[in-house]
Amino acid sequence: MTALLSAVDVQRFYRRGGIFRRGERLHVLKGATLEIGRGKAVGLVGRSGCGKSTLGRILLGLERPDWGSVFFKGKDISAKDGGEFAKFRKSVQVVFQNVQGSVNPRMTAGEIIGEPLRNFFGISKREAVERSRPLLEQVGLKGSDADKFPPHFSGGELQRVCIARALAPEPEVIVFDEAVSSLDMVVQARVLELVQKIRDERGLAFLFISHDLRVVAGLCDEVALMDGGVIAARERSVATLAKTGGATIARMLESLPPAGPGERAFR
């Protein structure tokens, strides 16, 4: 069966900044291939700066690869015309780590969640705000929170608003890029419970980019390790990856604090 969303042999170069490095190229992705099946939760791990977010942006269609392709339901997204591309963008949503930076502080939560509804369904602002209320309830907030502004939410609550915004256009895939990394442990656990609930209820596919192997272990059906600009290993669990992932994964495991009560240890 064709994957829902896949990157095939993707390469990406960036120009390095700085006066002495003009023209020097940074070869970030060197032929990365990653598939996300329907309803699957795939974890993407790897050391900082290895290119996880870059691959995420390319899968979202926010950035074009220099080589290789992204396929959505078997079709190359670069071959999609305007209407088809808009449909693709509706189907693949994202939740970023920096929640403060990804919302306009002058818009209410209802307007923030309503924005993709207006863009994709062409409804009025008022109707979009009304439709945001049940979405707020689904993410554990109150319908009346639609009238509140971002500074009046805590970090965890604002992350829920961002999750509601991602859910609003009824996507088929959500990319979470370090989406819980900036939250404290207790809030993180609650947001992860919510993510799991959404998964169970909606059968969505997830790409969960995280440097925290425990987060990925708790949530994902498969885990992919990025190393050297490619997907170096892919396994059904972090425990298996710990055995096959070589030096990079060993270092990532070493940097984890010891497993707490009720947590699985990978070593």
Ligand X SMILES: Nc1ncnc2c1ncn2[C@@H]1O[C@H](COP(=O)(O)OP(=O)(O)OP(=O)(O)O)[C@@H](O)[C@H]1O
- CB 28 to ligand X: min, Å: 4
- CB 210 to ligand X: min, Å: 9
Nearer to Mg ion, 98 or 144 (CB): 98
Q: What DSSP string runs through 53-100?
A: HHHHHHHTTSS--SEEEEEETTEEGGG--HHHHHHHHHHEEEEES-TT
Please tell me whether residue 50 binds ligand X under the rule CB under 6 A: yes
Kindly report the backbone phi and psi dihedral angles of residue 34, in degrees, each rounded to the nearest multiple of 5, phi listed first.
-145, 130
Nearer to Mg ion, 50 or 109 (CB): 50
For 140-157, give one letter per residue: b (16+ CB within 10 A) or e: bbeeebbebebeebeebb
* Contacts (CB under 5 A) with Mg ion, residues 27-86: 53
Residues 6+ apart with CB under 8 A from 127: 117
Please tell me whether residue 175 binds ligand X under the rule CB under 6 A: no
Nearest CA to 266 among 214, 209, 210, 227?
214
Which of helix, strand or coil describes residue 224? strand
Applying CB under 6 A, among 1, 18, 19, 48 the residue interacting with ligand X is 48
Which pairs with CB-CB distance under 8 Å and at least 24 residues apart come from 83-87?
Answer: 85/61, 86/120
**Which among ligand X, Mg ion, none contacts residue 28 (Cβ within 5 to 8 A by kind)?**
ligand X
**Which among ligand X, Mg ion, none contacts residue 262 (Cβ within 5 to 8 A by kind)?**
none
- CB 235 to ligand X: min, Å: 19
Whole-Å CA distances, 65 to 4, 70, 78, 80, 106: 18, 8, 10, 15, 34
| Region near ligand X per CB under 6 A, out of 2-10, 51-59, 75-83, 133-141 | 51-59
Beta strand pairing call for 205-209 and 173-177: parallel
Please tell me whether residue 89 binds ligand X under the rule CB under 6 A: no
- Sign of torsion over alpha carbons 48, 49, 51, 52: positive
Task: Give the per-residue contact string, 12-41, with ligand X (x = CB under 6 A; - = no).
Answer: --x-----------x-x-------------
The counts of H helices and E strands in the chain are: 9, 10
Please tell me whether residue 51 binds ligand X under the rule CB under 6 A: yes
Please tell me whether residue 159 binds Mg ion under the rule CB under 5 A: no
Please tell me whether residue 49 binds ligand X under the rule CB under 6 A: yes
- CB 121 to ligand X: min, Å: 31
**Which among ligand X, Mg ion, none contacts residue 14 (Cβ within 5 to 8 A by kind)?**
ligand X
Please tell me whether residue 108 binds Mg ion under the rule CB under 5 A: no
Contacting positions for ligand X (CB under 6 A): 14, 26, 28, 46, 48-54, 211
Contacting positions for Mg ion (CB under 5 A): 53
